[in-house]
Amino acid sequence: MKIINIGVLGCASIAERSIIPAILNLPHHFKLVAVASRTLEKSDKFSKKFNCESVDSYNKLIQRTDIDALYIPLPTGLHDEWVNKAIKSGKNVYVEKSIALNFSLAKNMVHNSRKYNVALMEGFMFQYHNQHNHLKELLNKGIIGDIRHFSSSFGFPPLEQDNFRYDEKLSGGALMDVCGYPLRATFFVLGDELKVTGASLFRDKNTGSSLYGSAYLSGEDGIGSSISFGFDNYYQCNYILWGSKGKITVERAFTPKPDEIPTFKLETKEGIKIIESEKDNHFEKSLIEFHNIIINKEKREKHYKEILQQSESLQKINDLTR
């Protein structure tokens, strides 16, 4: 197995808390070479903690010839510059969601990835947790009959006022942050045929930043998906499948911790049953997928298409609510 030399471009909390530990837990897949920040103080903190090199410039990290891939946890508004620079330098890129502030920028990233023959992957880690494979096995067995509707919610209480997520130009607000999860879950569970047909979005009157909203996706077979999301909300993190013979709810659908045992709530005419899944680490699993598409070029197209599908759908929600 080829070991990929990887660098981390940005000292975000998710990198420190989850992704870099996952990289270090996969020594047969990756070698962490360096972490870059715009300040030496931040990169030094990471280098000492994770036993790697410290780089005080994003450009310096991108230009290094001893690095094959980059993980980029920067805010969405910074992706256009740094993702494209990384791609054009021949680096494979794993970038945090959402990949771009609009569909046009996402298309350009995918175009460049194809042109420069590199892997590009968007960081929706939850898809790689085994609980979702377990769920699909249950659905294939007809545990709730035929699917009639899908719904999903992801949102949390107010953040600190200076949190970058409230900055529309930097992060894209709630639309580009939390909306991506239930939207991605719709396609992940129901398939690629659904399209955004309706949406509502509340924007702060002073800043213009999106704070919460909802959207509806329709499919040709009559199955729909209703999703809801927001920053200033009561915490929700789930998706629900309503079928002809029952209903199944997946709690903590997007944020299960590696040491947690995920559960499903199954409701049928026989009553309510709690089904346990298995512990899993979706951060490690998503990195294994990234490694896979670096090594196997023919598997990259799936991710290019998912990026375009996701970004085009977010763009549609934005356009419908202007």
Question: Are 186 and 140 contained in the same domain?
Answer: yes
Q: Is residue 321 part of a domain?
A: no
Q: What is the pTM of this model?
A: 0.97
Span 255-264, mean pLDDT?
A: 96
Q: What is the pLDDT of residue 266?
A: 98
Q: So what's the pLDDT on residue 257?
A: 95
pLDDT tens digits, residue range 57-86?
Answer: 999 999 999 999 999 999 999 999 999 999
How many Cβ atoms from other residues are within 10 Å of residue 76's Cβ? 24
Shared-domain flag, residues 90 and 168: no
Is 97 annotated in the active site? yes
Same domain, yes or no, for 196 and 254?
Answer: yes
Q: How far apart are CA 123 and CA 127, in angstroms?
A: 10
* More reliable by pLDDT, 206 or 139: 139
Helix or strand or coil: residue 52?
coil
Distance CA 99, CA 134 (A): 28
Determine, yes or no, domain membership for 21.
yes
Tokens representing 299 are: 């598997």
Residues 300-320, mean pLDDT to the nearest whole number: 98
Across the beta sheet with 246-251, the strand order is: 195-203, 210-218, 224-230, 147-155, 236-243, 246-251, 263-268, 271-276
Report the domain count for the chain. Answer: 2
> 25 and 166 in one domain?
no
**Domain that includes residue 25, residue range:** 4-125+284-298
Question: Choosing from 2, 48, 60, 97, which is the catalytic residue?
Answer: 97
Residue 207: band (very low, low, confident or very high) from pLDDT cuts 50, 70, 90: confident
**191 and 114, same structural domain?**
no
Distance between CA atoms of 321 and 55, rounded to whole angstroms? 42
Which pLDDT band holds residue 161 (cuts at 50, 70, 90)?
Answer: confident
Kindly state whether residue 318 falls inside one of the protein's structural domains: no
For residue 241, name the pLDDT band (cuts at 50, 70, 90): very high
